[in-house]
Amino acid sequence: MGISYLRKYRGQVAGLRNPHLWIIIALFAFLTISHFTQLPSQTTFLRGISIPAIIELSRHSLERFIYLLLVLYAGWTLGIIGSAALWLASTVVMLLRTFLISPNFKDALLETVASLVIGALVIALMAAYHHNKQQQEKLEKTMKDVELARQNYEELLTNASDAIFIHDLEGNITYANRSCEKLTGYSVSELIGKNISELLAPETMPLARQVRDRLLKCEEVEQPYKQNLIKKDGTQAILRLATNLVIGDGRSIRFQHIVRDVTEQERAEEMLTKIIDGSPVPTFAINKQHKITHWNTALESLTGVKREDVLETDRQWVVFYRDKRPIMVDLIVDKASTSEIEVYYRGKSRPSCLIDGAYEAEDFFPDLGEDGKWLYFTASPIRDKNKEIVGAIETIQDITETKRMQDNLSYYLKEITIAQEEERKRLARELHDDISQQILLLTHGVDNLASKAERYLPQELRNELGRLYELSQQTYQGIKRYAQVLRPRILDDLGLLPAIKWLAEEIHNFAGIEIQVKTDTIPPLSPETQLVLFRIVQEALNNVHRHSGASEANVIVKHQRNEVSITISDNGKGFEVPKQLSDFAGQGKLGFTGMAERAHLIGGDLEVNSQVGKGTKIIVKAPTKLYTERNS
């Protein structure tokens, strides 16, 4: 026996606890002792029994026959390995007896060889029997697996969410699952035997014949494709289906269809098409495969690209960029994170505050129009009823004129600010160099006059001269302070934050209000932005000491992303805030209106919060860069 043969039947080796193993060992030992000795004739209870004489065989021939019976018994009870091992042991015993002891060598050798051949045949037959039995068991198991797979397949088809039906080459339906009932309104029993042409709308029959003919010719068919179904109640449904030709015995035997009702989706898409095409806002949409599904007339006018040139393609990028890259709608469909979107738009985009999952951005596109265009665009996800993203839509606004107006506004801001500050400088210089010097001379004159006239003027006049002297001193100090306020040199020399701290200290010294200043590190700001923010803080703190009656105030400067915010708050008496900042002018509070206008000039915003008896809080926010600097 080869190794592979032993491996094949190693599962049949008996364990030591098998009683048949010990019975066979005992019989084999007894038979072997009998084969080499005269043990049966010497045993009392066997002495009178002469089985060889009864069957007319010699004792040793009978023993050889019994060895064959033991081999057969071992094969039946211990398996092929057991019978082979016993056959091998019997071969050794019989050959030793033949060559060493037997007086009739030829007859003994012949009987031994015959016994061994018969034993080998018996083992071969038993091996064939076991092999056939194993193959039969495997076949039965395979048949059971096939039947189970068939049942599972039928159950899968029956309970599939998509409608599945099968019809023969003539169009007669031979199988329909449960979903077909919901789709058509017919029961399964009603569908079986019905011709497929009875279910399809007449206008779609040519397409059905075309698909059938192409599949029978083994030609490719674009799938899935759409069909119109007539339901039992007479209504129509729009289907998306895939059709396969089933081959059996080398010939075409039937068609199998997998069908999905897309009526609601198609109607929603039709409505979306009407909305997009009728919108005056340039708009386009893509599906989950990044193919353009909508491209409206307004977008054609803006870009010069016709819808027929881009529909069903993924070339939406070509309108905006020279090299292929994902645009905002592509990133929305791919569920890109804010950081991933930032890679492509680099500070020009932000999440929408109105639509979940949407992003908005503005950018300059030099290839649009003759001189390029500034566009503001918003991309939003399109979701199905399960909230899964199935596409994205993008609306675009041409803000080129708005940007040009902002450019002009920034230019005028700069010019106005320069003119104002030059005038403030001139006034500060005149106050310091001219009027303050004259007041100082007047103060000295009054002092000298009072000193010379001390001996001969009445006390009342001397007192009056003293009051004039003190008044002139206060006037001199006031003029110096106003000259400093008109244009503090610290703003030009050290920047915004030191200037705000100086201003807080000045007001504290002048009005006795405790003012705490807390600042973040802020990036360098343009001179215009620094000056506007300083003037707003200056106006706010002046309001605190003039009108609020506060004892404490706080100034907090923060920097977040591309924005600087300054919060000025106090514990004063507060007031009722109107609905709009422009209403402050009607209430005589022109300072708030001026602060708001200043903030808007640098692209910022002003917020005023106040309640009677609970103080006031003013928040001004401004971009770290002016519009013209962002676009340079």
Q: What is the CATH number of the domain that holds 196?
A: 3.30.450.20
Give me the torsion for CA of 39, 45, 48, 50, rounded to 10°. -60
Residues 24 and 124 occupy one common structural domain: yes
Residues 304 and 389 occupy one common structural domain: yes
Residues 19 and 117 occupy one common structural domain: yes
Residues 533 and 451 occupy one common structural domain: no
Residues 295 and 384 occupy one common structural domain: yes
Cα separation, 597 vs 613, in Å, equals: 27
In a domain, 268, yes or no: no
Give me the torsion for CA of 459, 462, 467, 473, rounded to 10°. -150
In a domain, 445, yes or no: yes
Burial of 451 (0-12, 13-18, 19+ CB in 10 A): exposed
Listing DSSP states for 173-214 in one string gives EEEE-HHHHHHHS--HHHHTT-BGGGTB-GGGHHHHHHHHHH
pLDDT score, position 45: 45
User: What is each CA distance from 264 to 236, 267, 390, 393, 554, in whole angstroms?
Assistant: 12, 5, 14, 19, 59
In a domain, 266, yes or no: no
Choosing from 362, 381, 398, the residue where a domain stops is 398
pLDDT score, position 587: 61
The one-letter amino acid at 506 = E
pLDDT score, position 581: 63
Residue with tokens 């492509």: 344
Count CA within 13 A, CB hemisphere, residue 194: 18
Integer-rounded Cα Rg, in Å, for the chain is 53
CB atoms within 10 A of CB 119: 26
In a domain, 296, yes or no: yes
What 3 state SS string does 95-142 have? HHHHHHCCCCHHHHHHHHHHHHHHHHHHHHHHHHHHHHHHHHHHHHHH
Cα separation, 288 vs 46, in Å, equals: 95
Q: How many folded domains does the chain comprise?
A: 5
- Contact of 104 with 98, CB cutoff 8 Å: no
pLDDT score, position 632: 40
The one-letter amino acid at 162 = D
Residues 549 and 626 occupy one common structural domain: yes
Residues 249 and 324 occupy one common structural domain: no
Strands 514-519 and 552-560: parallel
Query: CB under 8 Å to 69, separation ≥6 — which residues?
Result: none
Question: Computed from CA positions of residues 54, 58, 63, 69, in that sequence, does the dihedral angle turn out positive or negative?
Answer: negative
In a domain, 283, yes or no: yes
Choosing from 464, 487, 510, the residue where a domain stops is 487
CB atoms within 10 A of CB 367: 12
Residue with tokens 């098409």: 273
Cα separation, 72 vs 576, in Å, equals: 114
Strand partners, 554: 516, 569
pLDDT score, position 4: 46
Burial of 410 (0-12, 13-18, 19+ CB in 10 A): buried
CATH of the domain at 585: 3.30.565.10
Question: Computed from CA positions of residues 47, 52, 58, 62, in that sequence, does the dihedral angle turn out positive or negative?
Answer: negative
In a domain, 152, yes or no: no
Cα separation, 458 vs 462, in Å, equals: 6
Query: CB under 8 Å to 501, separation ≥6 — which residues?
Result: 517
Q: Is 252 helix (H, G, I), strand (E, B) or coil?
A: strand
The one-letter amino acid at 38 = Q
Residues 394 and 436 occupy one common structural domain: no
Q: Which long-range contacts (CB under 8 A, 24 or more apart) does 225-234 make?
A: 226/262, 226/266, 227/200, 227/201, 228/200, 228/201, 228/203, 228/204, 229/183, 229/184, 229/199, 229/200, 229/201, 230/198, 230/199, 230/200, 230/201, 231/183, 231/184, 231/185, 232/184, 232/185, 232/186, 233/185
Q: Is 430 helix (H, G, I), strand (E, B) or coil?
A: helix
- Contact of 247 with 253, CB cutoff 8 Å: yes
Q: Which helix (H) or strand (E) holds 548?
A: none
Could you tell me which of 275, 234, 238 has the C-alpha nearest to residue 259? 238
Residue ranges making up the domain that contains 86: 3-138
Residues 394 and 298 occupy one common structural domain: yes
pLDDT score, position 265: 79
In a domain, 150, yes or no: no
Choosing from 487, 507, 524, the residue where a domain stops is 487
Report residues of the chain scoring pLDDT below 70: 1-16, 38-60, 154, 156-159, 410, 413-414, 417, 421, 425, 428, 431-433, 436, 452-457, 483-487, 579-590, 626-632
Residues 33 and 60 occupy one common structural domain: yes
Cα separation, 452 vs 465, in Å, equals: 11
Could you tell me which of 400, 351, 357, 396 has the C-alpha nearest to residue 376? 396
In a domain, 155, yes or no: no
Q: Kindly report whether the global pTM for this prediction surpasses the value 0.75.
A: no
Residues 314 and 439 occupy one common structural domain: no
Give me the torsion for CA of 298, 304, 310, 316, rounded to 10°. -80
The one-letter amino acid at 445 = G
Report the b/e string of 483-510 with b at 16+ CB within 10 A: bbebbbebbeeebbbebbbbbbebbeee
Residues 530 and 592 occupy one common structural domain: yes
Cα separation, 70 vs 85, in Å, equals: 11
Which letter does DSSP use for residue 280 in this model? S
Cα separation, 79 vs 76, in Å, equals: 6
Q: Is 14 helix (H, G, I), strand (E, B) or coil?
A: coil
Q: Which two tokens stand for residue 121?
A: 């045949």
Q: Is 245 helix (H, G, I), strand (E, B) or coil?
A: strand
Strand partners, 165: 176, 257
Q: Is 560 helix (H, G, I), strand (E, B) or coil?
A: strand
